[in-house]
């Protein structure tokens, strides 16, 4: 937080700049930052929107459920699981905010964790009215049944390897092109070696060794690139699984801590 007049850095909660004496209208700055976040969100610039919403929250101005939902939505659009914490913050401010509960349910649905959310509601009967808990549990059950029905209505998926898919054909074409490029390079090297022996009277053994070394190095580079790509794919999948595991492990505890 900085002073709008002199730019001095201020601690959150200050209503007056100790350097220039300007009165800090935290409410006006909060609204301005929120509006800038709304503008960035409307332009699909979710990262920038999140920065403005976070800055607004850091003002120390009393925040309503709306700003937490906006910040959560910006995080959600970036596939950041911290969005759930913001939705829970919104619920902690307004226990029966329908939109906040809907956003939380949609978040858990996208992560295929609706049963965990239902269990959380069941454990929170002391926090919410029993009727409200039953209502949310019913909504979650409907969402789970809808997902199952949608999956059942999909056509049967063939086993991996059955038939020629577009992806498989493209993969074969790629391998064919790479093989031809490699063979062409090998042909050029062999031809250059023969020309060197014939015209430059280069020692045949040296030419063969040079060609073999070049082909060996090229093969090693090709295999390294291929293995690096596979390792990158494995790492990406592991990171995604780690995020989901963390979300599963912390969803119940996080919910409880946030709502206190």
| Domain spans of the chain, in order of start | 166-229
Given a cut of 60, whether residue 156 has pLDDT beyond it is: no
Q: Which of 72-86, 202-216, 220-234 has the highest mean pLDDT?
A: 72-86
pLDDT of residue 259: 33
- Give the N- to C-terminal CA distance of the chain in Å, as an integer: 27
Specify the length of the chain in residues.
260
Q: Which of 66-70, 164-168, 237-241 has the highest mean pLDDT?
A: 66-70
Q: Provide the token pair at 202.
A: 């280069």
Check: pTM over 0.85? Answer yes or no: no
Residue-wise pLDDT for 48-94, tens only, equals 999 999 999 988 788 899 999 999 999 999 999 899 999 999 999 99
Dist CA 138 CA 144 (whole Å): 10
Q: 3-state DSSP call for residue 9?
A: strand
Angle at 237 between CA 235 and CA 239, to 5 degrees: 70
Dist CA 121 CA 153 (whole Å): 30
Dist CA 51 CA 56 (whole Å): 9
Backbone angles phi, psi at 2, to 5 degrees: -125, 155
pLDDT of residue 242: 46
Q: How does residue 99 score in pLDDT terms, banded at 50, 70 and 90?
A: very high
Residues of the chain with pLDDT > 90, as a percent, come to: 29
Q: How does residue 96 score in pLDDT terms, banded at 50, 70 and 90?
A: very high
Dist CA 80 CA 240 (whole Å): 11
Dist CA 100 CA 84 (whole Å): 10
Q: Provide the token pair at 115.
A: 């049963």
CB 2 within 8 A of CB 10: yes
Angle at 151 between CA 146 and CA 153, to 5 degrees: 95
DSSP state of 80: -
């Amino acid at each position: 937080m900085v002073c709008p007049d002199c730019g001095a850095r201020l601690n959150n909660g200050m209503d007056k700049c100790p350097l220039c004496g300007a009165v800090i209208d935290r409410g006006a700055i909060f609204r301005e930052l929120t509006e800038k976040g709304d503008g960035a969100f409307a332009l699909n610039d979710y990262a920038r929107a999140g920065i403005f919403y976070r800055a607004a929250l850091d003002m120390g101005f009393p925040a309503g459920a709306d700003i937490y939902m906006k910040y959560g939505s910006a995080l959600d659009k970036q596939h950041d699981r911290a969005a759930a914490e913001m939705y829970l913050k919104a619920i902690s401010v307004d226990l029966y905010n329908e939109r906040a509960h809907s956003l939380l349910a949609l978040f858990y649905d996208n992560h295929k964790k609706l049963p965990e959310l239902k269990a959380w509601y069941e454990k929170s009967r002391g926090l919410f009215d029993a009727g409200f808990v039953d209502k949310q549990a019913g909504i979650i059950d409907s969402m789970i049944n809808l997902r199952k029905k949608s999956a059942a209505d999909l056509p049967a998926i063939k086993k991996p390897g059955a038939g020629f898919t577009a992806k498989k054909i493209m993969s074969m074409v790629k391998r064919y092109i790479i093989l031809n490029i490699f063979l062409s390079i090998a042909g050029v090297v062999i031809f250059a070696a023969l020309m060197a022996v014939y015209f430059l009277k280069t020692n045949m053994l040296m030419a063969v060794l040079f060609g073999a070394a070049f082909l060996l190095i090229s093969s090693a580079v090709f295999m390294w690139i291929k293995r690096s790509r596979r390792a990158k794919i494995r790492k990406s999948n592991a990171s995604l699984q780690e995020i989901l595991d963390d979300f599963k492990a912390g969803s119940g505890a996080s919910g409880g801590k946030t709502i206190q």
